[in-house]
Amino acid sequence: MAATIKMVAERAGVSVATVSKYINGGNVYEENRERIQKAIEELDYKINEVARSLKTNKTYTIGVLAATIQSSFITSIISKIQYTLLQHGYSTIIADYQENKKLEKKQLDVLLMRHVDGIILFPEENEEEIVRFIKEQNVPIVMVDNMVEGIPCDAILTDNMGGVYTAVEELIKRSHRRIGMITGPEQMYTSRERMKGYCRACEDYFVEVVPELIRYGNYDIESGYRCFMELMELANPPTAVVAGNYYMAIGALQAINEKGIRIPEQLSFIAYDHMEFAGIMTPKISTVSQPLGNIGQVAAERIVQRIKGNMENYPQVDRLKTSLNLTGSVNSL
C-alpha cells in the first residue's frame, strides 16, 4: 500500500495541513520540517510533483551553476545546499559547464527551460552578462564564493579580507617581514579582497608592502607553481608565503618539494582554503579555513527566502567568518 499524506502526518506527529504546507514550500517550524522529512523518507512517500506545480505555479527545483564540480571545496558546499533545500521541499539540478563559457550559457538555458524557481551561481571571471541575463528572466539568483560588482545581487562569501589579514598578522608577529602572497586574477573580486587583507595587515604593523612579493595567477595548480618559483628566484626571497587558494597551494607545494625547501625551517607557509590533505602532510599545513557547510546552508536559505517573495535587506552580502588553523608549517624567525 502506497503511503498517504495522512500517514506522513501521523508518523511525524503533526497535522495533515502542516505536511501539506511543508510540501508546498510554506513556512514550517524547523523541528517539524525535520520530522516530516524523516517520515517521508521512512514511508517512501511520493510527492505528486505535477499536482504541486500546478497548484503553486512553481517547480520546487533550484539550479546550481558552477564551472566545475571536481573541486572538493565546491562539492562540499553543494552537498549542504542540497540537504538544506530538501528540508524546505526543493530539489536541486546541478549544472557543471567544465570551465567552458559557451557550455555555461547552454547549461543556463537548460536550467531555465526546466523552469527552476531560482539559481545559485558560483561565478567566475567576467560573469556580468550571465548575471544580467538571469536577472532579466526574473529568476532569483544568489552568488556563492564570489560576486559581480555593479549588479545588485545576493551573495554568500567568506571574509576574504579578514582571513588573509589574520594569516599575515600571525606571520608578522613571528617576526616575518618579507611575506610573499600568491593569489588569483588581479581583477577578480576575491583576489582583490584577499590582497586588501594582506596590505592592511602590513600597513597596520608598519611592514612595507613590496610589489615584487605579490604574484597573481589563475587560482590553479600551474600558476601556483609558477608564482611560487618566481618568488624563490628573487635576489631576496620571502621568508613566508601565503597561498591564495587550495590549487595555488598545491602548485606551491610541488615547487617546494622540487626545490627541497624545508617547511617550516627554511620557509613558513599558510594556505587560504579548505585543504583535504593538510592534516596528513608532513609537516601539517596551516590553513585559513572557510565554513563550507555554513556557506551552503546560508545560500540555500537565502534563495528560498527570495523565491517566497521576502526581499528584506536585498541585495544582501553575507561575509562568513574564517578561522586560522596553525600547525607545523609556520615558524618564528
180 within domain boundaries? yes
Same domain, 128 and 207: no
**Predicted pLDDT of residue 222:** 95
**% of the chain at pLDDT higher than 70:** 93
- What 3-state class would DSSP assign to 185? coil
Same domain, 178 and 286: yes
Same domain, 219 and 232: yes
For residues 36 and 168, give the distance between their C-alpha atoms in angstroms, rounded to a whole number: 47
327 within domain boundaries? no
331 within domain boundaries? no
229 within domain boundaries? yes
Number of domains in the chain: 3
Same domain, 168 and 280: yes
222 is in which domain, residue-wise? 160-290
Same domain, 281 and 187: yes
For residues 93 and 272, give the distance between their C-alpha atoms in angstroms, rounded to a whole number: 29
75 within domain boundaries? yes
Same domain, 135 and 198: no
**Predicted pLDDT of residue 60:** 87
**Predicted pLDDT of residue 280:** 53
Same domain, 102 and 116: yes
Same domain, 152 and 170: no
Strand partners of residue 63: 93, 119
Query: Model confidence over 221-272: pLDDT tens digits?
Result: 999 999 999 999 999 999 999 999 888 999 999 999 999 999 999 999 999 9
217 within domain boundaries? yes
**Predicted pLDDT of residue 307:** 93
Same domain, 268 and 183: yes
**Predicted pLDDT of residue 54:** 44
Neighbour order of strands in the sheet with 61-66: 91-96, 61-66, 118-121, 141-144, 154-158, 317-320
Q: Name the residue with cell 523565491.
A: 307
Segments of the chain scoring below 50 in pLDDT: 50-51, 54-55
Same domain, 166 and 285: yes
For residue 228, what is its C-alpha cell? 611560487
**CATH number, residue 28:** 1.10.260.40
325 within domain boundaries? no
Same domain, 283 and 298: no
Query: Model confidence over 65-90: pLDDT tens digits?
Result: 998 888 788 899 999 999 999 988 89
Kindly give the pairing relationship between strand 323-325 and strand 286-289. Answer: antiparallel
Same domain, 210 and 120: no
For residues 16 and 192, give the distance between their C-alpha atoms in angstroms, rounded to a whole number: 51
**CATH number, residue 91:** 3.40.50.2300
11 within domain boundaries? yes
